[in-house]
Structure 1
Amino acid sequence: MTPNQQNTTVFETRFGRILALKEEGIIRARSIRYAHSERFQKPIAIEASLSSIIISPEKTPVCPQALSPLVEKMIGATPVESFEADESTQYLSITRPEKVSENEKLPVIVWIHGGSHEIGCGDLATADPSEWVKEQHVIVVTVSYRLGLFGFLGGDETRPANLGLLDMIEALKWIKNHIADFGGNENNITLLGQSSGGDAIAHLMISEGVEDLFQHVIIQSAPLGLRHQRQKMSAEFLKKTETLKDETDVLKMMDEYGKFLPSIMKYGLKAAMPFGTQYGYFPLCKEEESVEMWKKNAQKYDVLIGLNNDETAFYLKTSEALNKYFGTGLGLKIMDKTVEKTTEFIYGIPARRFAENLAEAGGNVYLFRIHSKLKDNHIGASHCIDLPLIFGNESAWKSSELLKNIPWSRIRENGKKLRGLWTEFARTGKISDTSERPEILELRKM
């Protein structure tokens, strides 16, 4: 790809000359490296390079990871041939409308992907923001960061904790410093995260070193019920994986660490997410100080937080083993109750308490819940159902088991209204009572 091609453009920025691709009404600058790191070291910001054109790599860099059979089944197969494993996976991509007025400053939405702090990357087709960007005239920045062993397990001098969180902070600094060169408003930045991405954003709100880096947050399906008392589990998992820290074959590391997971199942539900943000290590406070820190920072950020009504159906109702015994009759009633209880424990009650605490401290907070409302959709509004609503991109979702009995026309209709509300919040930090709401959404100001 060269700058002379008609489908490309070059952004002249203070970071350097960045080559971007024009695609059907949007411009995308893909896989810009914002920082670099050695294994288990803090990220170092990349210095500006004004002498040459910055061109995206041929393959999308992704943190080494093991594929999830559940994600492959429910969301779709990962095109592994288009990705390149990279331990130092500090990259971001910028998608903006092709036509932006000269003095226009667009709101900026920063996507922090989910995946249990273990899988995923910023540039997956199922979270391609092109449709959102064209429809709502915003800029979306998607961020990749270190995961799993490399980013979310630590606790000693040789393997620090929270490196993935520090990567995100470096990305936000880069965005703050350079997004204006792409037509973005550096003083109107919204963080959007789903699942572990939402968990990360909640913790960025109480991290050191984030002053003035963002103004609004949208937290979708964050498993905040799993954040408590993880210290012993993390310490044990860290010790068991000590033999892997110097392994040169990253794919072997991915194969080997899974062998230690059964030994931490004694820690209960939290072991379903063995990697995570760790209290008491930079940039986070101690766990017992966290609620007061959120209250202290409540008035700094506008907050939109919520969940899907049947989150854990994604895991429970799609299990062939469980369906063998709980798929019909009384068993199905037990299954439905289990989905309800676990959804509330992991997602629902923690989201409500989070919202209540911030509101009591004077924060501007909205709480939402997404429902299915379809009788023939047996898993209901499960984990990840918000992704096609927010991002659209029918072609990426057409083979998804998650949407098996849901007409795409329904996703399109509700998704456009949901994107409108989320964009209104990103522009102003508020959602008007008169704004049109999708029928699947329950939303209230706290």
Structure 2
Amino acid sequence: MTDLTERQPDLVRVETPWGGFPAVEVDGVVRLRNIRYARADRFAPPQPVGPDPDESADLQFTTIACPQPPSASAAVLGDPLVGARFDEDCLRLTITRPAEIDGPLPVLVCIHGGAYVSNAGDLPGFDPSTLVREHGLIVVSVTYRLGLLGFIGDDARQRHSANLGLLDVIEALRWVRDHIAGFGGDPDAVTVSGHSSGGDAIAHVLVAEGTEGLVRRAIIQSAPFGIRARRDAMHAKMREAIGELRSDVPYDDLFAAQARAKQAGSAFGLRSGMSFCTEYGRAPLPAEADVDATWRRRATGLEVLVTWTTDETMFYLNQVPRAQAVFRTPVIGPIARRLAVAVSSSAVYARGGKRFGRLLARSGATVYEGVFSGRPVGGTLGASHAMETPLLFPNEAVWARAALVAPDGARSLIAAGVGMRAAFAAFVRTGRVASRVELGPGWLGGMRVRRR
């Protein structure tokens, strides 16, 4: 099957109250790429800006990503950053919508994952054109600062603000709230979706200062709730390893400091899997002891779908040679693999996801829990972390390179993911989701959902 997103796009203009925005169109879907939502100096908080068509005039065929070192997960995900332009001027979003709109449409805002150190919102592997084409939604894909450019504040000199990547996400959500109507969206029907660290970001938007009412409906996929707490000691060690860092340091020195910090954080067990992350007690977040109470206070009226997969950590264990050697041991290997994946997946994802959902539900939110067991026929990673992503964003040309869906899962992504995309679109439109989602040809399993 040929992926529709690979056809040659036409350059068009989309009229808005702020003028005609450049866009690319393929088969009835228009993408307005790289619209600026904020500006920021290095290590400084974002400053909001309004829509300006000139800011993205020359960027409709460009993928912009925050500068980042190579990721160990690149091969698993099909080298998603191939062809991207790395630029600190990355506080941009892409709007994907039907070419013809009759009345305001529901909006899905996507916050990408990548452990707060990798990826970007507008990557080809996250192209939502199929979802938009099938269900008539508007999708907004957000790019924000990562790694040392976006996280780990400087205690001593206050030259480097903490939580910058989270502040970027908050500014993007405010931009959508204030401006999406001019692009055909309904500002009263906005759902925020995030996978992995993107889901973690949404959970923290819900407790950030000044964000009351900014998120009303959310899809939080595979957020690592189990490692969000008790990170102060790890961050202190990381800051010590970073040392003094000038705002004009070149990328080689910046990434060297980031590598030192990552190594310093590696002594803290599972928490080191997302060592660059949000910091409690630093703007805009409350103290760690106050987080649960803030979630409870803001829960009333929220509609939330919290999901995780059955084999989350196989994604990471597959990248550890020592673990793979054990797993290949006759007889004991498969048992060790099942046990390691089950225990670590529960500790990092499932147990914390259940607790988060239960806390919100008991405080007045409508909460659904989804357990995803899907995997391609013949696949070796089970229903690992990120396995649902190619079904939601089925760009065959990208995912055919990914070990995640090997050996043949990429060939049938559009047909296999019909049910998943329909379920997510239904939640975006109604705040409700079916109790069971089956996958199509070439894939096994699906997603079971229950209301908390």
| Common fold by TM > 0.5 | yes
For 1:191 and 1:99, the matched residues in 2 are separated by 23
For 1:15 and 1:178, the matched residues in 2 are separated by 10
Residue 441 of structure 1 is matched in structure 2 by 447
CA contact (8 A) 1:117 1:148 kept: yes
Structure 1 position 321, deviation (Å):
2.9
CA contact (8 A) 2:108 2:139 kept: yes
Q: Is 2:118 the partner of 1:116?
A: no
Q: How does 1:92-241 map to 2 (within 5 A)?
A: 92-101=93-102, 104-156=103-155, 157-241=158-242
CA contact (8 A) 1:188 1:214 kept: no
For 1:325 and 1:233, the matched residues in 2 are separated by 29
Q: Is 2:50 the partner of 1:43?
A: no
Residue 3 of structure 1 is matched in structure 2 by none
For 2:411 and 2:10, the matched residues in 1 are separated by 31
Gaps of 5+ in 1: 1-5
Q: How does 1:280-429 map to 2 (within 5 A)?
A: 280-328=281-329, 329-372=331-374, 376-408=378-410, 411-429=413-431
Structure 1 position 212, deviation (Å):
3.5
SS in 1 for 2:417: helix
CA contact (8 A) 2:377 2:409 kept: no
Q: Is 2:256 the partner of 1:250?
A: no
Give deviations 1:210-251, integer Å, cap 9, x for gaps: 233332100001011110111121122123213334353124
SS in 1 for 2:300: helix
SS in 2 for 1:214: coil
What amino acid is the match of 1:344? S
SS in 2 for 1:72: coil
What amino acid is the match of 1:339? V
- Greater mean deviation of Cα atoms: 201-210 or 343-352: 201-210
What amino acid is the match of 1:327? R
CA contact (8 A) 2:80 2:125 kept: no
For 1:334 and 1:286, the matched residues in 2 are separated by 38
CA contact (8 A) 2:226 2:348 kept: yes
Provide TM-score, normalisation by structure 2. Answer: 0.91
SS in 2 for 1:66: coil
What amino acid is the match of 1:199? D
For 1:107 and 1:327, the matched residues in 2 are separated by 48
Give deviations 1:366-424, integer Å, cap 9, x for gaps: 00111137774332000110101111122221121111135446644441101111111
For 2:424 and 2:62, the matched residues in 1 are separated by 31
For 2:78 and 2:434, the matched residues in 1 are separated by 36
RMSD: 2.1
Provide TM-score, normalisation by structure 1. Answer: 0.92
Percent identity at matched positions? 35
Q: Is 2:62 the partner of 1:59?
A: yes
CA contact (8 A) 2:29 2:129 kept: yes
SS in 2 for 1:367: strand
CA contact (8 A) 1:92 1:143 kept: yes
CA contact (8 A) 2:242 2:261 kept: yes
Structure 1 position 269, deviation (Å):
1.2
CA contact (8 A) 2:396 2:413 kept: no
CA contact (8 A) 1:195 1:220 kept: yes
Give deviations 1:106-163, integer Å, cap 9, x for gaps: 1100010000001111011111101111011101000001111111111532111111
Residue 430 of structure 1 is matched in structure 2 by 432
